[in-house]
A and B are shown apart, each in its own frame.
Chain A
Amino acid sequence: QVQLVQSGSELKKPGASVKVSCKASGYTFTSYAMNWVRQAPGQGLEWMGWINTNTGNPTYAQGFTGRFVFSLDTSVSTAYLQISSLKAEDTAVYYCARDGRPGQQLVPNWFDPWGQGTLVTVSS
């Protein structure tokens, strides 16, 4: 079955970096775009952007430029989210979520499935 499995929780100090992984299985990885979504504690969902899994080209939403980097390793069907210069306000659960249809967002669509989420806690 189609599945996204993310790496485990992280506890980081301010100023450090973190890299979250999202391993896909059950489908052709390079046929579907991958999205990243943030959920701060007790808050709603916030779309961070997406990466074209065929070309590796990332697109970042407003507010997620500069310190956030999306990348891929297609040989192991894995997408990555790296956050540098971590701040306390980066504390959140980060989800990867596959596009609902193939086509690399030629037509924007829904997200399905989602990874289980990775909690990143930034605290001194």
Chain B
Amino acid sequence: SYVLTQPPSVSVAPGKTARITCGGNNIGSKSVHWYQQKPGQAPVLVIYYDSDRPSGIPERFSGSNSGNTATLTISRVEAGDEADYYCQVWDSSSDHLFGGGTKLTVL
């Protein structure tokens, strides 16, 4: 079965850039979607199809996907970006699959 690997935690100072990775075998050949989940709340879609932003999501959120790594990039990080972030793909052997999640801490 397919496996997605995310770092458990990422820390960044306000105003800097955070990069959250999602690793998987040849993940660049798949479509990757990203969700933000704040404590006690439901997940919210922030990036779909590797790099598209839903309406209402700030331009500070961007995504890329190549080779064995997909990356969610958050520019000019704000305190309100502190949350758990999950990547998601579809794979023929695993159906829909989420990464283990990354806790973003804003220092």
Q: Are A100 and B95 in contact (CB under 8 A)?
A: no
A12 CA to B16 CA, complexed, in Å: 46
Q: Are A47 and B42 in contact (CB under 8 A)?
A: no
Q: Are B101 and A109 in contact (CB under 8 A)?
A: no
* B77 located at the interface, meaning its Cβ lies under 8 Å from any Cβ of chain A in the complex: no
* A10 located at the interface, meaning its Cβ lies under 8 Å from any Cβ of chain B in the complex: no
Chain B residues whose C-beta falls within 8 Å of the C-beta of A61 in the assembled complex: 95-96
Chain B residues whose C-beta falls within 8 Å of the C-beta of A21 in the assembled complex: none
> Contacts A100-B48, A110-B88, A112-B48 given: A45-B31 contact, CB under 8 Å?
no
Among A45, A46, A50, A111, point to the contact of B45 (Cβ < 8 A): A111
Q: Are B98 and A114 in contact (CB under 8 A)?
A: no
Type the 1/0 row for A83-124, where 1 means its CB is closer than 8 Å to any CB of B.
000000000000101001000000011111111110000000
CB-nearest residue of chain B relative to A50? B96
> Contacts A100-B45, A108-B96, A111-B45 given: A44-B101 contact, CB under 8 Å?
yes
Among B35, B90, B98, point to the contact of A108 (Cβ < 8 A): B90
Chain A residues whose C-beta falls within 8 Å of the C-beta of B33 in the assembled complex: 100, 109-111
Chain B, 40-61, CB within 8 A of any chain A CB:
41-45, 48-49, 54
Task: Tally A residues with Cβ within 8 Å of B.
Answer: 21
Among B37, B45, B96, point to the contact of A35 (Cβ < 8 A): B96
Contact residues of A with B, CB < 8 Å?
35, 44-47, 50, 59, 61, 95, 97, 100, 108-117
Given contacts A45-B35, A111-B43, A113-B45, 11 further A-B contacts (CB under 8 A): A45-B43, A45-B88, A61-B95, A100-B45, A109-B48, A110-B48, A112-B45, A112-B48, A112-B54, A114-B44, A115-B42
Contact residues of B with A, CB < 8 Å?
31, 33, 35, 37, 41-45, 48-49, 54, 86, 88, 90, 95-101
Can you list 27 contacts pairing A with B, beta carbon distance less than 8 Å? A44-B98, A44-B99, A45-B37, A45-B88, A45-B98, A61-B95, A95-B42, A95-B43, A97-B43, A100-B45, A109-B31, A109-B33, A109-B48, A109-B90, A110-B45, A110-B48, A110-B49, A110-B88, A111-B88, A112-B48, A112-B54, A113-B44, A113-B45, A114-B43, A115-B42, A116-B42, A117-B42
